[in-house]
């Protein structure tokens, strides 16, 4: 897969200086949970084949793109950052797939019309983790399957999860060449 990422000559700092609303560019680098989840989807295409999937907090769109490459019927990538939504479009095009990218916060609404919700790296903050888990519980109650990729962050609700697969990944901010364990979980 190809992803547009931040680097010394990417021009990202010029963009940040030009837009006072520019936040942390979480979408500019792949994170460990998203890497594990994307790897799992590609290794186990039956998890997404023929299904409409939601990549919640999609960032770069890595997981949605992997889902489309693995045979998903449709992938909907949602993020709250307008730059992430733009990056999703660029990254999907770079991989020759179509991904519906949407700027929205779905966590306060009803479960979406999808068969599977894919969540990578959204358990790094207590308040966010609580909102995400409440939304995912509503999805599960509506019959929507949930897969979570995460490198065992502090606010991951491990007591509510079943490990599906383990992967060694390089997480955001780790020194070059370093890997850590990340897992793909099913919400139970």
Residue among 41, 173, 168, 58 nearest 183 (CA): 168
Residue 80 predicted with pLDDT over 70: yes
For the chain, which residues make up each domain, given as ranges? 27-187
Question: Which tokens is 166 given?
Answer: 């383990």
pLDDT category at 11 given cuts 50, 70, 90 is low
pTM above 0.75, yes or no: yes
162 Rama sector, left if φ>0, alpha if ψ -120 to 50, beta otherwise: beta
* Rounded-to-integer distance, Cα 5 and Cα 104, Å: 22
Contact between 105 and 40 under an 8 Å Cβ cutoff? The reply is no
Distance, C-alpha 77 to centroid of its chain = 8
pLDDT category at 15 given cuts 50, 70, 90 is low
Residues belonging to the chain: 188
For position 18, what pLDDT does the model report?
73
Classify domain 27-187 at the CATH class level.
alpha beta
């Amino acid at each position: 897969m190809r992803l547009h990422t931040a680097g010394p000559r990417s021009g990202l700092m010029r963009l940040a200086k030009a837009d006072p609303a520019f936040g942390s560019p979480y979408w500019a680098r792949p994170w460990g949970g998203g890497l594990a989840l994307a790897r799992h989807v590609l290794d186990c295409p039956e998890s997404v084949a023929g299904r409409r999937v939601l990549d919640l907090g999609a960032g770069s769109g890595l997981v949605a793109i992997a889902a489309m490459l693995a045979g998903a019927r449709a992938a909907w990538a949602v993020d709250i950052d307008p730059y992430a939504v733009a990056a999703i479009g660029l990254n999907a095009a770079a991989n020759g797939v179509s991904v519906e990218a949407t700027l929205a916060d779905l966590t306060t609404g009803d479960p979406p019309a999808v068969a599977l919700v894919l969540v990578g790296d959204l358990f790094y903050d207590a308040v966010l983790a609580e909102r995400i888990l409440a939304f995912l519980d509503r999805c599960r109650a509506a019959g929507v399957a949930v897969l979570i990729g995460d490198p065992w962050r502090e606010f991951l609700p491990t007591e509510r999860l079943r490990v599906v697969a383990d992967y060694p990944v390089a997480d955001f901010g780790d020194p070059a060449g370093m890997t850590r364990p990340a897992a793909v979980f099913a919400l139970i």
